[in-house]
Amino acid sequence: GLRVLAAQGKEGVTWIMDNVSWSPDSKQVLTVLTTRVNPVKQLYVADIDGKTPPKALPKQPQDQACYAVAWSPDGKKILVATPPKKR
């Protein structure tokens, strides 16, 4: 069946990127979204059981938007595409 892990308007989510990356153990997905509290495009992880809302990954720069994500096969690294910082 279909399981909704994040939806616009739910849990304060205002925008969701259509790119997701599955964790190597297939228990989580990684995506980028914005919320009413944080309008910057940031990385969030959601458990596939759907019991808890997506959580922002810690230690993200609040002035750096994310546009694409990929989890490494061993789960130890995350690749993130971001626009260049303005000087």
The residue whose two tokens read 């979204």 is 33
Model pTM above 0.85: yes
- Strand, helix or coil at 74? coil
**Per-residue confidence (pLDDT) for residue 10, from 0 to 100:** 86
As a whole-number percent, the residues of the chain with pLDDT over 90 amount to 66
Does residue 2 register a pLDDT over 90? no
Q: What is the DSSP letter of 83?
A: P
Above 80 in pLDDT, residue 18?
yes
Model confidence pLDDT, tens digit, residues 49-75:
989 999 999 999 888 899 999 999 999
Q: What is the pLDDT of residue 84?
A: 85
CA distances from 13 to 25, 38, 47, 74, 84 (A): 26, 9, 16, 29, 25
